[in-house]
Chain A
Amino acid sequence: MIRLLAFLLLAALPARSDELRGTGDLGVVVERATGSLLIVDRSERAAIGRVEGLGDLSHASVVFSPDERFAYVFGRDGGLSKVDLLTREVAGRVLQAGNSIGGAISDDGSLVAVSNYDPGGVRVFDAETLAPVADIPTGSKTLGLVDAPGRRFVFSLWEAGETWIADFSAGPEPAITRIPGIGANPYDALISGDGRTYIAGLFGEDGLAAIDLWAEPPAARRILDGYGRGEEALPVYKMPHLEGWALAGERFVLPAVGRHELLWVDSRSLEGDRTRTAVHGQPVFAVARPDGRQVWVNFAHPDNDTIQVIDTLSGEVIRELKPGPRSCTWNSRRAARRSGSRSATPGGSRSTTP
């Protein structure tokens, strides 16, 4: 029916029939080594364009504008590119730092923030023009950047072991809330679908930090404390990433640092579930299928030839795929935690598809 309507519409507008399209079917694939972005159409199952000249995309991530026309691409080299998915052109680009790790867009779509290793901190830009809005130096490598409701950004400091909240609700001068002492070396973070809970994974400690953003003042508490049971962690050859909140409604899953395990956490109490899933190697990404029925996991070197599929009800491995050595350890469902859009999207996570 939808196709038919579209056809009738196109028939009535012959002059523009090739040009008119929505972005609902479109997605992007980061081509990391060549610094380009492939634009794909899910229904056509085809690549429909390539946008080049985006710099070093070897650790790139993407968020989308509220109207889902523009993709903001955050490159490793500090490049922030705004790509128009309809015209397949670079609509704006700034080289805003020397070394970057990711970004976020505010819930109202007006601000784009980038977290930087060098110089350590967060820089915020006008989403329309990419003009600079605010510079928030932290003195630390800054990561785990997410957006929270009310024009806020939340991020963590690797060396300092802190989480900061930058509140832009009153205008371009942010009100900064610092939460010190969250734990040693936060390496990545996630935020719950309702924007209430921020969880930072800790590389330097045997546990994670959870922050209730609804509390006044917000404070960090330790969850899954001592999940390694005092055993010495294995060498970590690739830092895990945190994705995949709220699986199967009540639990979410996290990669254990330095262990061949996934950890399950109750999403309301934040208490660790007794369930552990033994997996093939050290997990890097544990990402839920949009309906939360399964979790797909990939692994750090030297186990990066394998992907395992986990059933979220039983917590058991149900399939093991061997795409082969040197298979991509980058998960294309990364990023796009835009709080304004989460509730509208079943399953939440939706990075490559705007």
Chain B
Amino acid sequence: MLRLAPLLALLAAPAAAGALPPLDRAAELEHLVRQDCGACHGMTLAGGLGPDIRPAALAALDRTALVSVILDGRPGTAMPPWRPLLSEAEAAWIAEYLRTGDAP
């Protein structure tokens, strides 16, 4: 259900252009968030070399801004651009997962 929720949110949001990731890709994206984003932000997303990215910490950031950070990184910091590896729809899925997600 937690996985389904961000997908439904995307379905309801016309701004999320492009094809939605299929469910098996969603599982891969969740793994990517925990293990690869987690390399810097912590597996629990509570922060590490990179900042805390749990929902409360991201509350001030709107979805478009978050998608933009994911896709294009933050120049001058260690946050890399993920555009070479992720589609815009996938970045939007991750942004929604982070904003609403089940991070402990």
Contacts and interface: CB of A to CB of B under 8 A. Distances in A.
Interface of A: 32-33, 56, 58-59, 76-77, 99, 101, 117-118, 141, 143, 158, 185, 187, 203, 235-239, 301-302, 326, 329
A187 B78 CA distance: 10
A235 B46 CA distance: 23
B47 A118 contact: yes
Contacts of B40: 238-239
Contact of A58 (B36, B42, B82): B42
Contacts of A143: 49
Contact of B80 (A118, A158, A185, A237): A237
A238 B36 contact: yes
Given A33-B43, A56-B42, A239 B49 contact: yes
Interface of B: 31-32, 35-36, 38-40, 42-44, 46-49, 73, 78, 80-82, 84-85
Given A203-B78, A237-B80, A32 B49 contact: no
A235 B47 contact: no
Could you tell me the dominant secondary structure of chain B's interface residues?
loop
B80 A117 contact: no
Given A101-B48, A158-B49, A235 B43 contact: no
B49 A117 contact: yes
A341 to B, nearest CB: 28
Given A58-B44, A76-B48, A99-B48, A235 B80 contact: yes
A236 B35 CA distance: 15
